[in-house]
Amino acid sequence: MRTPLESPEDDSIRPFRVETTQEEIDDLHHRIDRTRPVPSVEDTQFHYGFNSCYLQKVVLYWRNDFDWRRQVDKLNQYPHFKTKIEGIDVHYIHAKPKNLPKGACSIPLMMVHGWPGSFYEFYGILPLLTEPRSPEDIAFEVICPSIPGYGYSEAPHKKGFDSVCAARVFLKLMKRLGFSQFYTQGGDWGSIITTNMAQLEPKIVKGLHINFAPPFKTNLTMLSSMLLGHYFPRLFGFTHHDITRIFPLGQKLIVNRLKESGYMHIQATKPDTAGRGLNDSPVGLAAYILEKFSTWTDHTFSNLEDGGLQMHFCLDDLLTNVMIYWTTSSIIPSMRLYKENLSQGLSPPYSKIPVLVSTGLAMFPNELVHTPELWARQNYQKLVNYTTMPRGGHFAAMEEPELMAQDIQKFVKIVEGKM
CA angle 290, 337, 275 (to 5 degrees): 55
Q: What CATH number did the domain enclosing 87 receive?
A: 3.40.50.1820
Alpha helix ranges (H) inside 215-281 = 220-228, 240-246, 251-259, 262-267, 271-280
84 close to 68: Cβ distance less than 8 angstroms: no
Amino acid at 231: Y
- Residue 321 near residue 117 (C-beta atoms within 8 A): yes
Q: Which positions are annotated as active-site residues?
A: 188, 338, 394
In a domain, 29, yes or no: no
In a domain, 243, yes or no: no
How many distinct structural domains can be found in the chain?
A: 1
Q: Could you tell me where the DSSP H helices lie in 296-330? A: 309-312, 315-328
Is 39 contained in some domain? no
Residue-range definition of the domain harbouring residue 352: 49-217+261-415
Domain assignment present for 152:
yes
Q: Of 383, 375, 392, which Cα lies nearest the Cα of 415?
A: 383
CA distance 405 to 418: 16
In a domain? residue 234: no
User: pLDDT (tens digit, 0 to 9) for every residue of the chain, 419 residues total?
Assistant: 444 455 677 899 999 999 999 999 999 999 999 999 898 899 999 999 999 999 999 999 999 999 999 999 999 999 999 999 999 999 999 999 998 877 778 999 999 999 999 999 999 999 999 999 888 899 999 999 999 999 999 999 999 999 999 999 999 999 999 999 999 999 999 999 999 999 999 999 999 999 999 877 667 777 777 777 676 777 777 888 888 888 776 555 667 777 788 899 999 999 999 999 999 999 999 999 999 999 999 999 999 999 999 999 999 999 999 999 999 999 999 999 999 998 876 667 777 788 999 999 999 999 998 899 998 998 999 999 999 999 999 999 999 999 999 999 999 999 999 87
In a domain, 196, yes or no: yes
